[in-house]
Structure 1
Amino acid sequence: MTVGALSGCSPDTLIGSPRRTEANPRNLLLIMVDDLNDWVTALGDHPQVTAPHIKALAASGTSFANAHAQAPICGPSRASLFSGLYPAQTGIYGQIKDAQLGPAVSAVSPTLLLPQYLRSHGYYTAGRGKVSHQGGQEGMFDEYHPRLPENGDYGPKPEGRFKWDSDKTHTDWGAWPDADEKMIDHITASWGAEFLQQEHEQPFLLALGFVRPHVPWYVPQKWLDMFPLDTIELPQIRANDLGDVPKAGRDLAAVPQMPTLEWAMENKEWRPIMQAYLASIAFVDHCVGMVLESLSTSAHAENTLICLASDNGYHLGEKQRFAKMSLWERSTRVPLMFAGPGIRQQVITDPVGLIDIYPTAIDILGLPANTENAGRSLAPVLTQGKALPIEPQLSVYGEGNYAVIDPNHRYIRYADGSEELYDLRKDPNEWVNLANDQSLASVKDRLRAYIPANPRSDVTIGR
């Protein structure tokens, strides 16, 4: 999937006659989960994950076990998903304020953001929680409820830190607060569940953004108790894993504000961190379950398309780090699943991207295609079981740094030209950099061709 030139259509061409039939779902429930890594995919990458509601949702429809974010950080990933454009097209490589999202996109394309596009076709659009990076820009939804000021960005916080004292990151972990009802995700889920119980004359988009398992990993004690420390299985690591990573790669992935694996091991905090992350997954799964249970008992159960996705992955010790913001597998690979009327029960292992959500959703809803979308509709896979041509996925972190992922390899090229190449069949942990193996030069050449030749300059610098 290459990043091509914009088609240059006018806004008028985005509005067409809906081709919805009785077989099409009427509504879209979009669930965004923040920093949920690939442990909950159908491949089951961590055996102790407790997420029965997300698991059941995946089993009821199509789960993409090899889905990737177009950027391994919240802002540009969500900007790409909602605009349907690659970061290289918009120049959004870093965090961006909601008020600047629309202008940044309109500077390069007449496209509408996904909620706006649906509204242009008669949808009522409602959202709550962290939907875009800061929630929902003005005019993005008919009805949007921001995170409550008393809860802060990521939920209620104690007066001080429990474990990690750095004002440059939200990172910390521990038991807080004392009740689920005080958690911002529980408030979001309750509101979403109530929305689904109401009658709606118009078709609707309901977008719910859950913040766990984003840091700080605070949840009530009962969720931590589900994962006794002495039973937790730690990820596999390799000593000197970064020894064959070029300096540009080490520098790009350096997150001095976050704990290092060395620190976590010396201070016996690796298992507590893992416990808090697993507990945060279990808690957010409970919140997702509240919404899905409400939908199942509502009048909308049989005519609502469900899409659940995460905006990026997260390292929990792999590559000696506790962070996202890298071009390795754990940062870019994310859960992505669709369920609802007409969606087949299957697991797809071909690579896809979050950029495919926009064209896929409007296709399944029976709306005309937005010709500005850079992704492709996965509807033939979801509804008919058809195989689509395999297209490598592109992820970018910072201007000029790209990862290209196909079913067998991950190729990374940094802005200075240095490279990494991993054989994902033999080396799923990405421990052995094969970039200097001359026998694989043709593989690098093939994947390198997917890197855009004329990317837009970074418009987020200084914002």
Structure 2
Amino acid sequence: MFIYDQNQAQAGRVALIVCGRKHMVQVSRREFSMGALLGATMLSGCLQPGQAAGAGKAKNLLLIVIDDLNDWVTALGDHPQVNTPHIDALAASGTVFTNAHAQAPICGPSRASLFSGLYPAQTGIYGQIKDADLGPAVAAVSPTLLLPQYLRSHGFFTAGRGKVSHQGGQEGMFDEYHARSAKNGDYGPKPEKRIKWDSDKTHTDWGAHPDTDAEMIDHITATWGAQFLQREHTQPFMLALGFVRPHVPWYVPQHWLDKFPLDEIEMPKVLANDLGDVPQAARDLAAVPQMPTLEWAMENNEWRPIMQAYLASIAFVDHCVGMVMESLRASGRSEDTLVCLASDNGYHLGEKQRFAKMSLWERSTRVPLMFAGPGIRPQVITDPVGLIDIYPTTIDILGLPANTENAGRSLAPLLTLGQALPVEPQLSVYGEGNYAVIDQRYRYIRYADGSEELYDHENDPMEWTNLAERPEVAEVKQRLGRYIPANALPEFPSPTAAS
């Protein structure tokens, strides 16, 4: 639980912090004050005094999907210098999940799972997928509609802008969709030449560019989203906004970098031989030779600039979230609009000797996930949940019939009534046959070749000690291993189909 203090946060400190899964600052993961959270809610400006949780009913949906945002938001307590006042205000006004995980640690399959309501193992979508292939891949295994299509079938007007699905938005996915600006590329305007990392095999680079916020894709997306909310709407709507920062390249205008002086940045804790006790399959799967290594970053004095650029990118996208939320409040629709904010996957910033996502370790799968709006209770939930739960949860809160094809579960009883739900470990997959299973305490990883990792987050939050070969954890591995599917589909399209 936390109380958010904007002045403290802007000074690089957090006044009263939630305890995320890792860095417990003031209270334990399970000890918090509901009174403190309600106090934070009033401070945030998202709920006004007298607007009790449970009042009103949501009829619209605002879905905000942020690209590659790891757990460095104040509400999750995992980096002391993040500057996310608008995301924190949203978290304080509703339910924030501190143990939420993507179903895949890479954009394409994660978003495919979110919008289809199906696990990657059900669709065979384990890697990046073109938007044109998303519908056929899902239709090959299920009659389900993608979330925007389902809402449209129940009378909603659906609109989106930015990176919603992996390439933006599948044709026909929305009634109205605006792709990222062609002149700005997929992730924003590019300088004439790379600033720091000269490789044509990755978007990775960092530095000050362009000159103004208005040139940034996310600012354009936020401006359009804010204008959409000011329109007259004669039917319920879904508005999906996909922000690309902090996805690489970490380019932002200079004034965002200035908020994080290099010599003041607190660096992640890393272990020099962190990969010494993981199987070869882990090293092979997580290898990203196109991206900088920690060794390179340290030798070239670029670790701090990378950290600065990532933190600045987070601050910038938080500003964009604020633009949208301010418009929602000004529109008068905050009283009937459900807001869901999530990231599609996490990101390593030196941990495990890497700067990347695309692994089955905690930093790659743990993501922010929060809901706010009429009837949503202010609370912090530490039980494991997944992005797979967004589809069934939103349609339940909006009062629509359940989609029986959904593989996740509705969190609505917990969000609106405070009813405890059974603990369900979460499943993440990266590449065919490689799985991570996460519960309240452990992360169990099993690779396609049968090799394993097991981490005890209660005693080893940084995942420095692989316990998998210790006999005393055999029961834990067996219990969590039951969640790994035995009948997963091969990758779509299969080699036979492709030929």
Letter in 2 for 1:212: R
Partner of 2:363: 330
Give the % identical residues: 81
1:112 aligns with 2:148: no
C-alpha offsets along residues 194-244 of structure 1, whole Å, 9 cap, x if unaligned? 000111001000000000000000000000000000000000001100000
**C-alpha offsets along residues 97-140 of structure 1, whole Å, 9 cap, x if unaligned?**
00000000000000000000000000000000000000000010
| Residue among 89, 93, 109 paired with 2:126 | 93
What is the correspondence of 1:239-258 to structure 2 with a 5 Å cutoff? 239-258=272-291
**360, 363, 379: which is aligned to 1:346?**
379
Partner of residue 319 from structure 1, selected from 326, 331, 352: 352
Per-residue CA distance 1:349-395 (angstroms, 9 max, x = gap): 00000000000000000000000000000001100111100000000
Counterpart secondary structure, 2:65? strand
Change (3 A) 1:41 1:86: farther
Q: 2:178 aligns with which of 131, 145, 148?
A: 145
1:290 to 323, 327, 340: 323
Distance in 2 separating the partners of 1:209 and 1:40 = 18
| Deviation at residue 35 of structure 1 after TM alignment | 0.1
Structure 1 position 54 matched with structure 2 position 87: yes
1:196 maps to amino acid: L
1:232 aligns with 2:265: yes
Q: Give the structure 1 partner of residue 98 of structure 2.
A: 65
Q: Is the 8 A contact 1:41 1:64 kept in 2?
A: no
CA–CA distance in structure 2, aligned partners of residues 377 and 168 of structure 1: 40
**CA contact under 8 A between 1:242 and 1:319: conserved in structure 2?**
yes
Give deviations 1:301-358, integer Å, cap 9, x for gaps: 2100000000000000000000000000000000000000000001000000000000
Contact 2:427–2:436 (Cα < 8 Å) also in 1: yes
What is the letter of the counterpart of residue 315 of structure 1? H
Report whether the alignment pairs 1:202 with 2:245: no
| Shift of residue 43, structure 1, vs aligned partner | 3.0
Matched, 1:279 2:301: no
SS at match of 2:275: helix
**2:117 pairs with 76, 84, 87, which one?**
84
**Match of 2:212?**
179
Match of 2:413, SS state, is helix
1:27 paired residue number: 60
Letter matched to residue 399 of structure 2: G
Taking the aligned partners of 1:274 and 1:445, their CA distance within structure 2 comes to 38
Q: Does 1:437 align with 2:466?
A: no
Matched residue, 1:169: 202
Moved more, 328-337 or 297-306: 297-306
Shift of 1:23: 4.2
Task: Report the alpha carbon displacement of residue 42 of structure 1 after superposing the two structures with TM.
Answer: 2.4
1:66–1:352 contact (8 Å) kept in structure 2 = yes
Cα distance in 1, alignment partners of residues 419 and 301 from structure 2: 49
Q: Residue 491 of structure 2 corresponds to which residue in structure 1? A: 458
Given that 1:82 and 1:113 are in contact with CA atoms closer than 8 Å, whether structure 2 keeps it comes out as: yes
**CA deviation digits over 1:54-100, x for unaligned, max 9?**
00000000000000000000000000000000000000000000000
Q: Whole-Å Cα distance in 2 between the matches of residues 96 and 41 of structure 1?
A: 32
For the Cα contact (< 8 Å) 2:164–2:242, is it kept in 1?
Answer: yes
Distance of 1:245 and 1:253 partners within structure 2 = 11
What is residue 166 of structure 2 aligned with on the other side? 133
Return the letter of the residue paired with 1:58. A
Unpaired segments of 5 or more residues in structure 2? 1-53
Three-state SS of the structure 1 residue aligned to 2:453 is: strand
What secondary structure, in the 3-state scheme, does the structure 1 residue paired with 2:133 have? helix
TM-score, with structure 1 as normaliser? 0.95
Are 2:398 and 1:368 equivalent residues in the alignment? no
Please point out which of 364, 389, 407 is paired with 2:440.
Answer: 407
The Cα RMSD (Å) is 1.1
Output the CA distance in 2 between the equivalents of 1:380 and 1:79: 25
**2:245 counterpart of 1:212:** yes
- Distance, in Å, in 1 between the alignment partners of 2:74 and 2:281 is 30
Structure with bigger RCO (C-alpha 8 Å, 6+ apart): 1
Pair 372,248 (structure 1): closer, same or farther in 2 beyond 3 Å: same
> For the structure 1 residues 41 and 371, does the alpha-carbon distance in structure 2 shift closer, same or farther, using more than 3 Å as the test?
farther
Deviation (angstroms), 1:41: 5.7
Where 2:331 maps in the other structure, the secondary structure is coil
In structure 2, what residue type is equivalent to 1:343?
I
Q: How far, CA to CA, are the matches of 2:73 and 2:108 in structure 1?
A: 22
Give the Cα–Cα distance (whole angstroms) in 1 for the partners of residues 63 and 418 of structure 2: 22
Q: Is the 8 A contact 2:74 2:82 kept in 1?
A: no
The aligned residue for residue 188 of structure 1 is 221
Structure 1: unaligned runs, 5 residues or longer: 1-20
Q: How far apart, CA to CA, are the structure 1 residues paired with 2:73 and 2:450?
A: 34
Once the two structures are superposed, residues 258-312 of structure 1 have per-residue CA deviations (whole angstroms, 9 ceiling, x without a partner) of 0000000000000000000000000000000000000001031210000000000
Structure 1 residue matching 2:461: 3-state secondary structure: coil
The DSSP-based 3-state class of the residue aligned with 1:144 is strand
The 1-side partners of 2:285 and 2:464 are apart by 17
Preserved CA contact (<8 Å) 1:127 1:141: yes
**SS of structure 2 residue aligned to 1:278:** helix
SS in 1 for 2:75: coil
User: Does structure 2 retain, via aligned residues, the 8 Å contact 1:41–1:63?
Assistant: no
3-state SS in 2 of match to 1:127: strand
